[in-house]
Amino acid sequence: MNMGIAAVNNNSGIVLTGGGALLHGLPELIAQQTGINCFTAENPMESVALGTGKALTEMDRLKGTGKSTMMVNLKRSSRKRY
């Protein structure tokens, strides 16, 4: 199961995305364990797809930020055939 953390913001807290974000009680457990507010994105599955697509289209702009390496690895792994 894959779960993403979309953002950590001092004002709002942790935003959970992906399938793991749909686990009942997970935001409350994370908030209890970390002391940081935590909630699930409005559309957790859709937000992962939209964010990945946006990152892929912005690859050139991400170069030098350390985030482009992750996206290159993601592109390479998506080429594998099973």
3-state helix, strand, coil in the chain (%, to 5): 50, 20, 30
The residues spanned by each domain of the chain are 3-78
pTM of the model: 0.57
Is residue 46 within 8 Å of 18, Cβ to Cβ?
no
User: For residue range 63-81, what is the model confidence (pLDDT) as tens digits?
Assistant: 766 655 555 555 555 554 4
Give the Cα separation of 43 and 24 in Å (integer): 15
**CATH number of the 3-78 domain:** 3.30.420
- Cβ atoms 56, 38 nearer than 8 A: no
Condensed to tens digits (0 to 9), the pLDDT of residues 8-46 reads: 545 678 889 999 899 999 999 999 999 989 989 899 999
